[in-house]
Each structure stands twice: as structure tokens, then as C-alpha cells.
Amino acid sequence: MQLFLDSANVDEIKESLTWGVISGVTTNPTLLSREEGSFEPLVRKICSIMAGDPVSLEVLATTAEAMVGEAERLAALAPNVVVKIPMGVEGLKAVHCLRCREHKVPCNVTLVFSVNQAILAARAGAAYISPFVGRLDDIGWDGAALVEEITTVFRRQQIDTPIIAASIRHPQHVQRIAAAGAHIATVPFSVLKQMAAHPLTSRGIELFLADWARSHGEERL
């Protein structure tokens, strides 16, 4: 399973790239609204930092025709832009149209909350589909179970559209959707840091250093 960073923050993106673990970025209007500066320079910068790896940018339009126009403008910003299109009939029409256009804008169908929505998005020609895990948990459902169901159905139906598990809130989500067979998890930087940490790892390092210091004092390797 690949990891994408769910962030529009340049410092977070640069830092996580140094870990060697992320191979894409997803943004949304909420994440972008938290950042300083205007939209275009910021997203151009993110796309250039990601050097060819996919960066999802979401349309704001709500009709298919307007979505297509916005998607084409977003895709022109950088070659690695993937356009996020919200699920729905207008979204499906837009994805179908963008897929058939000459330059074939890759679309990430976002705000997917059911297996049927995932099937429709894949059939319309999405390059990725993004089921939202945490937001389903928020209303008392089991978001990770949705990813399990979509991966099972896609495998059985031989649908090869990559699934980006989104709205990831904690490391347990990542483990469950990885076990389910999701292709990609897009994780906030806070969750990426939690994934790297374990109290026994920290304690183990402390103990090793203390034992070494007892026998060798300040001596270093």
C-alpha cells in the first residue's frame, strides 16, 4: 500500500518526503484554506516539490460543465495534477467527459461513502476513488469496513481502479485499510508521526543508551 500525505502544508510535505515514505499528496478546499498565500503559487509549489508524483486538487464547481472547465484549468497548472471531483451525478458526468477529452485529465472521485458510489465512479473512468473512513465513523458507521467491502467487490469484479482510503484519523485506520487491501492511504502528517512512534521503541532507545553510558561513559562509536 502506498502512502499519500493529506495536507496542503509545504513544511509537512517537505518533511515527510525526507522520510522516503510518501508518493503523492491530496488536498481539499478545507486544507488549502488553512494555508497562507494565494492558491496558484501554493499549488504550483506543492506540485513542484512532489516532482511528478500525483497531487490531488479539488474542483469547487457543482455542475458537470463547470467542473470540466475548472478541472482543465487545474490540470494545466502542473503535469502531476490529479483533479478531485465530488461523487454525484454531475461528478460522474464530469469524470466521463474529462476521461474522453483529448488530454485525459486524471480524476480522483472524492466523498465516496458506499460500494455503489465506488462502482459508479470506477465505471465512469475515475483514475482513483476516495472512500472517506473517518467521516463514516463520525456518524456511527464503520468506515474501514467500507474500504474492506469496496476492495472485495473490486477484486471479485476485476475492477482495477486504485482505492485511496481518505479521512484517516488514527493509525488503527491505516492498519485496517492496509489489511483490507487498499492501494493507497492518504494520511494527515499527525497520523504519519503517530505511525512511526511506539512507547516501547522510545523506552528501548533510552535503556540502550543508559546501559552504554554506564559501561563506556561519554565514549561514542
Are 146 and 176 in contact, with CB atoms under 8 Å apart?
no
Q: Is the CB of residue 13 less than 8 Å from the CB of residue 7?
A: yes
**Shortest Å, Cβ 133 to ligand E4P:** 8
Smaller CB separation from ligand E4P, 119 or 177: 177
Binding segment toward ligand E4P, per CB under 6 A, in 90-98, 129-137, 199-207, 208-216: 129-137
Grid coordinates of 39: 492558491
Tell me whether strands 128-131 and 107-112 are parallel, antiparallel or unpaired. Answer: parallel
Q: Which amino acid is at 77?
A: L
For position 117 contacting ligand E4P by CB under 6 A, the verdict is no
Exactly one of 80, 110, 151, 161 binds ligand E4P (CB under 6 A); that residue is 110
Helix, strand, coil tally for the chain in percent (to 5): 50, 20, 30
Measuring CA to CA, which residue among 108, 99, 101 is closest to residue 81? 108
Per-residue interface string for the shown chain with ligand E4P, residues 145-184, x marking contact by CB under 6 A: ---------------------xx-----------------
What do you get for the CA distance between the two ends of the chain, in Å?
Answer: 36
Among 9, 16, 28, 80, binds ligand E4P (CB under 6 A): 28
Query: For ligand E4P, what does the binding mask look like between residues 44 and 83, x meaning CB under 6 A?
Result: ----------------------------------------
Task: List the one residue out of 125, 141, 130, 36 whose CA is nearest residue 84.
Answer: 130
The residue from 45, 93, 96, 135 that contacts ligand E4P (CB under 6 A) is 135
CB of 221 to ligand E4P, least distance (A): 42
88 versus 134: smaller Cβ distance to ligand E4P: 134
| 186 is a contact residue toward ligand E4P (CB under 6 A) | yes
Is position 9 an interface residue for ligand E4P (rule: CB under 6 A)? Answer: no
Q: Which three cell numbers stand for residue 133?
A: 473512513
In this structure, how many other beta carbons lie within 10 angstroms of the beta carbon of residue 30? 9
CA distance 176 to 130: 16
Using CB under 6 A, list all residues that contact ligand E4P. Answer: 6, 26, 28, 110, 130, 132, 134-135, 166-167, 186
